[in-house]
Amino acid sequence: MTTQYSPINFAQKYALFQEQWTPKVVAEMNDYQFKIARLEGDFVWHSHADTDETFIVLEGELRIDFRDGAVMIGPGEMYVVKKGVEHKPCAAREVKLLLIEPRGVINTGDETNERTAVNDVWI
């Protein structure tokens, strides 16, 4: 029996969905998930009490607001939001990004609302 080795192609994965703010899992490494998402507009203020969250921008520009400032992330850049830090991602135009976070992390943090995405959706 031959094992198939295939890379994950982000362009092919992004072609499978159009919805915003709904991260899709493309891979796992130990207990961490790699999720791709399309973002546009403002998200909600939230934090993750138990984990850091890594944002890697593949296309577009993402601003992450904090209560005391903001950071801009462009294509090929990343930023790690430390656990417990309240933040709000914002994108003037569509951003395609890769999130790295532990399995089970809810996108809206400790609060659930209309922006809470179904978790653990593989694409």
| H runs (alpha helix) in the chain | 10-14
Integer Rg of the chain from CA: 14
Is pLDDT of 42 > 90? yes
| Model confidence pLDDT, tens digit, residues 89-111 | 999 999 999 999 999 887 877 77
Question: Mean pLDDT in the chain?
Answer: 93
Q: How much of the chain, in percent, has pLDDT values that exceed 70?
A: 99
**Distant-in-sequence, close-in-space partners of 56: CB < 8 Å, separation ≥ 6:** 77, 78, 97, 98, 99, 100
For the domain 23-102, what is the CATH superfamily, name and number?
Jelly Rolls (2.60.120.10)
Spatial distance between the Cα atoms of 90 and 66, rounded to a whole number of angstroms = 11
Label residue 48 exposed, middle or buried (CB < 10 Å: 0-12, 13-18, 19+): buried
pLDDT in tens, 57-81: 999 999 999 999 999 999 999 999 9
| β 53-59/78-81 pair status | antiparallel
Break the chain into its structural domains and give their ranges: 23-102
Return d(Cα 31, Cα 44) in angstroms, integer.
26
Collapsing DSSP to helix, strand or coil, 8 comes out as: coil
Provide the residue type at 117 as one letter.
Answer: A
